Amino acid sequence: ESPAPAELRRHAAAGLPEYMVPNAFVPLDALPLTPNRKLDRRALPAPESSAGSGGRAPRTRQERLLCELFAEVLGIERVSVDDGFFDLGGHSLLATRLIGRVRATFGVDIAIRTLFETPTVAELTERLGTGEDDGQGAFDILLPLRRKGGRPPLFCVHPASGFSWSYAGLMRHLGPDHPIYGLQSRGIAEPGELPTGVQEIAADYLKQVRTVQPTGPYLLLGWSFGGLVAHAMAEQLQRAGERVALLAMLDSFPRLPESHGGGAGRPAEDAVLSQREFLAGMLDLAGYERAEWDGEPLEYGRVAEILRGQGGILGGLEERHVAALYEVFENNSRLARGHVPGTYVGDLLFFEATLGKPGNTPGPEVWAPFLEGSIERHPVESTHDDMTQPEPLAGIGRILAARLRDFI
């Protein structure tokens, strides 16, 4: 029996750049040849068009409806049952829309974690209706974005908001042989005592990381506050005798106290957002329709009402949960302002947002006192808050993919 098209695409993507991976596969007993023993291209059969990607067409009503929902949300003509949602360009915002459409069509809730674990129509069809999805997995400290793959995983640390869903957009740019995990703040899943320092967070996350990957080489990526944590994780791993193959940051800067030369010219993101600014940003990040709430005061109860009304990733949150999210954000922001990094022995791959910053904003060179290695800077045409939007992430993903091929 021939391998499924999705399996063939994964195999091809492991060794080819994205633009060279075929969209369709046609099984042949032998290649047609000319009398001169060269490939006879005119004799090659055309791919079947039953599914736009060359995969299998839907076999049941449920699969057909899911294929239609995938295509509608992704803005493409058709989807096969073997196409991965994130491989086709899906990201966390589109995932929210898809989850809402699945809920409206089938009357069932699925967590974003379910979509990460079962990203094709065929896989998701098997999961629907099993009762295995309690909707809480989206808030786990260790969030599997992609479990499968034989290479070392990439561990992505959240910004101050505490969520790491937005890294899902990296999946289509990194080879399918690379597992990807997000690390998320304690306190967003269940209320509890919040951490008191960045080093404490790093140690906690390393315990989670070692449940998946007990030994190195380790690949670490952090955005904003997450860069501080990733740097601290790299330090701790090195002190434990482990190898860190990659430390990468998305527009992350140490925000030092005056005693360590901080204070002047700090990045704009150093300022703590107001409650309304945070709640509006959270709704945007999770893909909720701004038209329903733009311009009005946002209190915890009103946000919970919006979430219930639109469903999706955060649809099950109550008012107390929304309040806890802001507490996590405030705590992470406070810890960032007081954190003085240690020293990491190695190089830093740095992606710097170039939009929306004053002229005196420090660059990645502020990390030099905390590194024994070089800083490789890549400017990204983006604001700080939009670094994980599809367009900036496409450029970041291409550079990361090339770097991972070099390291591993």
Q: Which two tokens stand for residue 304?
A: 């919970």
| pLDDT for res 294 | 72
| pLDDT for res 339 | 94
Q: Where in the chain is the domain with CATH 1.10.1200.10?
A: 56-128
**pLDDT band at residue 135 using 50, 70 and 90 as cut-offs:** low
**Which CA distances in Å does 332 have to 229, 231, 241, 255?**
10, 15, 28, 12
Q: Is 381 helix (H, G, I), strand (E, B) or coil?
A: coil
The most confident of the ranges 130-134, 284-288, 361-365 is 361-365
17: pLDDT strictly greater than 50 = no
362 versus 229: the higher-pLDDT residue is 229
Rounded mean pLDDT of the chain? Answer: 82
132: pLDDT strictly greater than 80 = no
Nearest CA to 221 out of 88, 15, 401 is that of: 401
Percent of the chain with pLDDT over 70: 81
CATH superfamily of 56-128: ACP-like (1.10.1200.10)
Q: Where in the chain is the domain with CATH 3.40.50.1820?
A: 139-255+339-407
253 versus 34: the higher-pLDDT residue is 253
| pLDDT for res 35 | 81
Among the residue ranges 155-159, 167-171, 222-226, the one predicted with the least confidence is 167-171
The predicted model scores a pTM of 0.77
What does CATH list as the number for 139-255+339-407?
A: 3.40.50.1820
Decide if 377 contacts 364 (C-beta within 8 A).
Answer: yes
Nearest CA to 87 out of 397, 406, 407 is that of: 397
Helix count and strand count (H, E) for the chain: 11, 7
The answer to whether the Cα torsion of 110, 113, 115, 117 is positive or negative is: negative
Nearest CA to 102 out of 82, 129, 140 is that of: 129
**pLDDT band at residue 50 using 50, 70 and 90 as cut-offs:** very low
**pLDDT band at residue 18 using 50, 70 and 90 as cut-offs:** very low
Q: What is the mean pLDDT of residues 81-99?
A: 84
**pLDDT band at residue 225 using 50, 70 and 90 as cut-offs:** very high
**pLDDT band at residue 22 using 50, 70 and 90 as cut-offs:** low
CA–CA separation, 393 and 391 (whole Å) = 5
SS3 content of the chain, % helix, strand, coil (to 5): 45, 10, 45
Q: What is the mean pLDDT of residues 193-206?
A: 96
